[in-house]
Protein backbone atom coordinates (compact mmCIF):
# COMPACT_ATOMS: atom_id res chain seq x y z
CA UNK A 1 0.00 0.00 0.00
CA UNK A 2 1.36 3.41 -1.01
CA UNK A 3 1.23 6.30 1.43
CA UNK A 4 0.63 9.64 -0.28
CA UNK A 5 1.77 12.50 1.98
CA UNK A 6 -0.69 15.24 1.15
CA UNK A 7 -0.26 19.00 0.86
CA UNK A 8 -3.03 21.54 0.36
CA UNK A 9 -2.22 25.03 -0.90
CA UNK A 10 -4.27 28.18 -0.39
CA UNK A 11 -2.93 31.66 -1.19
CA UNK A 12 0.57 30.23 -1.53
CA UNK A 13 0.56 28.66 1.94
CA UNK A 14 0.26 25.14 3.29
CA UNK A 15 -3.09 24.62 5.00
CA UNK A 16 -5.53 21.95 6.04
CA UNK A 17 -9.27 22.57 6.02
CA UNK A 18 -11.23 22.51 9.23
CA UNK A 19 -14.46 20.54 8.72
CA UNK A 20 -13.94 20.81 4.96
CA UNK A 21 -14.48 24.59 4.89
CA UNK A 22 -12.47 26.58 2.36
CA UNK A 23 -13.09 29.72 4.41
CA UNK A 24 -11.69 28.24 7.64
CA UNK A 25 -8.24 26.83 6.88
CA UNK A 26 -5.68 25.81 9.46
CA UNK A 27 -2.43 27.50 8.42
CA UNK A 28 0.85 25.62 8.80
CA UNK A 29 4.01 27.73 8.98
CA UNK A 30 6.18 25.41 6.92
CA UNK A 31 8.17 25.80 3.73
CA UNK A 32 6.48 23.76 0.96
CA UNK A 33 9.77 22.84 -0.68
CA UNK A 34 11.46 21.75 2.56
CA UNK A 35 8.36 19.75 3.45
CA UNK A 36 8.33 17.92 0.12
CA UNK A 37 12.07 17.33 0.29
CA UNK A 38 11.60 15.78 3.72
CA UNK A 39 8.90 13.50 2.41
CA UNK A 40 11.18 12.30 -0.39
CA UNK A 41 14.04 11.73 2.06
CA UNK A 42 11.72 9.70 4.30
CA UNK A 43 11.08 7.32 1.40
CA UNK A 44 7.71 8.43 0.01
CA UNK A 45 7.04 7.07 -3.47
CA UNK A 46 4.41 9.68 -4.37
CA UNK A 47 2.89 12.85 -2.97
CA UNK A 48 -0.60 14.30 -3.39
CA UNK A 49 -1.01 18.04 -3.95
CA UNK A 50 -4.34 19.91 -3.90
CA UNK A 51 -4.61 23.49 -5.15
CA UNK A 52 -7.52 24.88 -3.14
CA UNK A 53 -7.45 28.21 -4.98
CA UNK A 54 -8.00 26.33 -8.24
CA UNK A 55 -11.04 24.63 -6.69
CA UNK A 56 -12.58 28.10 -6.54
CA UNK A 57 -11.41 29.01 -10.04
CA UNK A 58 -8.27 30.96 -9.12
CA UNK A 59 -4.76 30.50 -10.48
CA UNK A 60 -2.71 32.23 -7.78
CA UNK A 61 -0.88 29.04 -6.85
CA UNK A 62 0.03 28.04 -10.41
CA UNK A 63 3.68 29.09 -10.23
CA UNK A 64 4.16 27.45 -6.83
CA UNK A 65 2.53 24.24 -8.01
CA UNK A 66 4.78 24.19 -11.07
CA UNK A 67 7.86 24.69 -8.91
CA UNK A 68 6.84 21.88 -6.56
CA UNK A 69 6.34 19.52 -9.50
CA UNK A 70 9.69 20.51 -10.95
CA UNK A 71 11.69 20.36 -7.70
CA UNK A 72 10.02 17.40 -6.00
CA UNK A 73 12.10 14.24 -6.07
CA UNK A 74 8.92 12.16 -6.17
CA UNK A 75 6.01 12.20 -8.65
CA UNK A 76 3.10 14.50 -7.86
CA UNK A 77 -0.57 13.51 -7.98
CA UNK A 78 -2.28 16.87 -8.60
CA UNK A 79 -5.86 17.82 -7.72
CA UNK A 80 -7.92 20.99 -7.73
CA UNK A 81 -10.05 22.63 -10.39
CA UNK A 82 -9.38 20.09 -13.14
CA UNK A 83 -12.56 20.90 -15.03
CA UNK A 84 -11.41 21.26 -18.66
CA UNK A 85 -9.35 19.26 -21.12
CA UNK A 86 -7.00 22.22 -21.51
CA UNK A 87 -6.23 22.48 -17.81
CA UNK A 88 -5.66 18.75 -17.42
CA UNK A 89 -3.33 18.56 -20.39
CA UNK A 90 -1.55 21.74 -19.29
CA UNK A 91 -0.53 20.12 -16.01
CA UNK A 92 0.40 16.84 -17.65
CA UNK A 93 2.68 18.85 -19.94
CA UNK A 94 4.12 20.59 -16.86
CA UNK A 95 5.16 17.24 -15.44
CA UNK A 96 2.40 16.20 -13.04
CA UNK A 97 2.55 12.44 -12.59
CA UNK A 98 -1.21 12.11 -12.26
CA UNK A 99 -4.24 14.37 -12.49
CA UNK A 100 -7.27 13.92 -10.22
CA UNK A 101 -10.70 14.64 -11.71
CA UNK A 102 -14.05 14.62 -9.93
CA UNK A 103 -16.42 17.42 -10.90
CA UNK A 104 -15.58 17.05 -14.59
CA UNK A 105 -16.33 13.32 -14.41
CA UNK A 106 -19.83 14.09 -13.13
CA UNK A 107 -20.44 16.78 -15.75
CA UNK A 108 -18.79 15.27 -18.82
CA UNK A 109 -18.06 11.56 -18.32
CA UNK A 110 -17.38 11.00 -22.02
CA UNK A 111 -14.54 13.53 -21.97
CA UNK A 112 -13.00 11.99 -18.86
CA UNK A 113 -13.15 8.52 -20.41
CA UNK A 114 -11.41 9.87 -23.50
CA UNK A 115 -8.71 11.57 -21.43
CA UNK A 116 -8.07 8.40 -19.43
CA UNK A 117 -7.52 6.46 -22.66
CA UNK A 118 -5.33 9.22 -24.11
CA UNK A 119 -3.18 9.45 -20.97
CA UNK A 120 -2.76 5.91 -19.61
CA UNK A 121 -1.96 5.68 -15.89
CA UNK A 122 -2.22 9.45 -15.44
CA UNK A 123 -5.90 10.15 -14.76
CA UNK A 124 -7.36 9.46 -11.30
CA UNK A 125 -11.09 9.51 -10.53
CA UNK A 126 -12.12 11.33 -7.36
CA UNK A 127 -15.21 10.03 -5.56
CA UNK A 128 -16.08 12.36 -2.66
CA UNK A 129 -18.97 10.89 -0.68
CA UNK A 130 -21.25 12.67 1.79
CA UNK A 131 -24.47 11.19 3.14
CA UNK A 132 -24.65 8.62 0.39
CA UNK A 133 -24.03 10.85 -2.63
CA UNK A 134 -21.05 12.04 -4.66
CA UNK A 135 -20.18 15.68 -4.03
CA UNK A 136 -18.67 18.04 -6.62
CA UNK A 137 -17.28 21.59 -6.77
CA UNK A 138 -15.02 21.16 -3.78
CA UNK A 139 -17.67 19.36 -1.70
CA UNK A 140 -20.13 22.24 -2.17
CA UNK A 141 -22.62 20.62 -4.60
CA UNK A 142 -24.41 17.30 -4.32
CA UNK A 143 -24.63 15.31 -7.53
CA UNK A 144 -27.37 12.85 -8.42
CA UNK A 145 -24.88 9.97 -8.28
CA UNK A 146 -24.53 7.43 -5.54
CA UNK A 147 -20.87 6.43 -5.26
CA UNK A 148 -21.70 2.92 -6.45
CA UNK A 149 -23.40 4.24 -9.61
CA UNK A 150 -20.60 6.72 -10.21
CA UNK A 151 -17.93 4.03 -10.09
CA UNK A 152 -20.04 1.71 -12.25
CA UNK A 153 -20.34 4.43 -14.89
CA UNK A 154 -16.57 4.26 -15.36
CA UNK A 155 -16.13 0.51 -14.91
CA UNK A 156 -14.24 0.09 -18.19
CA UNK A 157 -12.22 3.31 -17.96
CA UNK A 158 -8.44 2.82 -17.55
CA UNK A 159 -7.92 5.10 -14.54
CA UNK A 160 -4.63 4.97 -12.68
CA UNK A 161 -6.62 4.85 -9.43
CA UNK A 162 -9.82 5.95 -7.73
CA UNK A 163 -9.54 8.26 -4.70
CA UNK A 164 -12.48 7.69 -2.37
CA UNK A 165 -13.04 10.33 0.30
CA UNK A 166 -15.37 9.64 3.21
CA UNK A 167 -16.38 13.27 3.83
CA UNK A 168 -18.45 12.40 6.89
CA UNK A 169 -15.41 10.87 8.56
CA UNK A 170 -13.05 13.60 7.36
CA UNK A 171 -15.02 16.62 8.52
CA UNK A 172 -16.32 15.12 11.76
CA UNK A 173 -13.04 13.40 12.60
CA UNK A 174 -14.90 10.41 13.96
CA UNK A 175 -13.24 7.04 14.18
CA UNK A 176 -12.88 5.65 10.69
CA UNK A 177 -15.32 2.76 10.24
CA UNK A 178 -13.93 1.95 6.76
CA UNK A 179 -17.27 0.47 5.71
CA UNK A 180 -17.87 2.94 2.90
CA UNK A 181 -14.37 2.76 1.48
CA UNK A 182 -14.01 -1.01 1.83
CA UNK A 183 -17.36 -1.56 0.13
CA UNK A 184 -16.48 0.66 -2.81
CA UNK A 185 -13.02 -0.90 -3.07
CA UNK A 186 -14.63 -4.33 -3.35
CA UNK A 187 -16.85 -3.06 -6.17
CA UNK A 188 -14.22 -1.16 -8.16
CA UNK A 189 -12.11 -2.75 -10.87
CA UNK A 190 -9.49 -0.06 -10.34
CA UNK A 191 -7.25 0.17 -7.25
CA UNK A 192 -8.64 2.52 -4.61
CA UNK A 193 -6.79 5.19 -2.64
CA UNK A 194 -8.47 5.97 0.68
CA UNK A 195 -8.88 9.57 1.82
CA UNK A 196 -10.30 11.15 4.95
CA UNK A 197 -9.80 8.19 7.27
CA UNK A 198 -6.17 8.25 8.44
CA UNK A 199 -5.56 10.02 11.73
CA UNK A 200 -3.30 7.50 13.48
CA UNK A 201 -1.07 4.53 12.81
CA UNK A 202 -3.87 2.07 13.57
CA UNK A 203 -5.92 3.43 10.68
CA UNK A 204 -3.13 2.53 8.25
CA UNK A 205 -2.84 -0.93 9.76
CA UNK A 206 -6.54 -1.57 9.20
CA UNK A 207 -6.58 -0.11 5.69
CA UNK A 208 -3.66 -2.27 4.62
CA UNK A 209 -5.78 -5.40 4.99
CA UNK A 210 -8.79 -4.16 3.03
CA UNK A 211 -8.83 -5.80 -0.43
CA UNK A 212 -8.15 -3.48 -3.38
CA UNK A 213 -6.94 -0.58 -1.22
CA UNK A 214 -3.77 0.48 -3.00
CA UNK A 215 -2.95 3.58 -1.00
CA UNK A 216 -3.97 6.26 1.47
CA UNK A 217 -3.78 10.04 1.49
CA UNK A 218 -2.25 11.32 4.74
CA UNK A 219 -2.11 15.06 5.32
CA UNK A 220 -3.60 16.54 8.48
CA UNK A 221 -2.11 13.82 10.72
CA UNK A 222 1.39 14.58 9.40
CA UNK A 223 1.11 18.33 9.90
CA UNK A 224 -0.33 17.87 13.39
CA UNK A 225 2.48 15.39 14.14
CA UNK A 226 -0.07 12.81 15.23
CA UNK A 227 1.68 10.44 12.85
CA UNK A 228 5.17 10.49 11.35
CA UNK A 229 5.64 9.72 7.69
CA UNK A 230 8.38 7.25 8.55
CA UNK A 231 5.99 5.28 10.77
CA UNK A 232 3.23 5.43 8.16
CA UNK A 233 5.53 4.13 5.44
CA UNK A 234 6.87 1.38 7.69
CA UNK A 235 3.40 0.15 8.66
CA UNK A 236 2.20 0.19 5.05
CA UNK A 237 5.29 -1.65 3.81
CA UNK A 238 5.20 -4.30 6.50
CA UNK A 239 1.51 -5.11 6.53
CA UNK A 240 1.76 -7.86 3.93
CA UNK A 241 5.25 -9.15 4.53
CA UNK A 242 5.38 -12.91 4.24
CA UNK A 243 6.05 -14.83 7.44
CA UNK A 244 8.14 -17.98 7.26
CA UNK A 245 6.21 -21.16 7.90
CA UNK A 246 7.92 -23.47 10.36
CA UNK A 247 7.22 -27.16 10.49
Could you tell me which residues are beta bridge partners of residue 103? none
- Distance, CA of 178 to CA of 166 (rounded, Å): 9
- Distance, CA of 135 to CA of 126 (rounded, Å): 10
Which of 51, 53, 128, 170 is catalytic? The answer is: 128
Would you call 31 a catalytic residue per the annotation? no
CA 170 to chain CA centroid, Å, is 13
Q: CA angle at residue 53 from 51 to 56, to 5 degrees?
A: 120
Name residues whose C-beta falls within 8 Å of residue 200's C-beta, 6 or more positions apart in sequence: 221, 226, 227
Which of 8, 53, 137, 170 is catalytic? The answer is: 8
Inter-residue contact 127 to 148 (CB < 8 Å): no
Instruction: Name the helix (H) or strand (E) containing 233.
Output: helix 229-238
Backbone angles phi, psi at 106, to 5 degrees: -75, -35
Would you call 230 a catalytic residue per the annotation? no
Q: How far apart are the two ends of the chain, measured CA to CA in Å?
A: 30
- Catalytic positions, written as ranges: 8, 128
Amino acid sequence: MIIYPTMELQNGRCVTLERGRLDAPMLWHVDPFETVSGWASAGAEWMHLTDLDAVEGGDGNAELVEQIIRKAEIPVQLAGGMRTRERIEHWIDKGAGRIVVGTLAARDPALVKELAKRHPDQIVLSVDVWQGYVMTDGWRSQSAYTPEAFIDAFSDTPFAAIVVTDIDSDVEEVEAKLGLISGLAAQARTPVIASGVVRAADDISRLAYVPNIAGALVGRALFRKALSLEDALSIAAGAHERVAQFQ
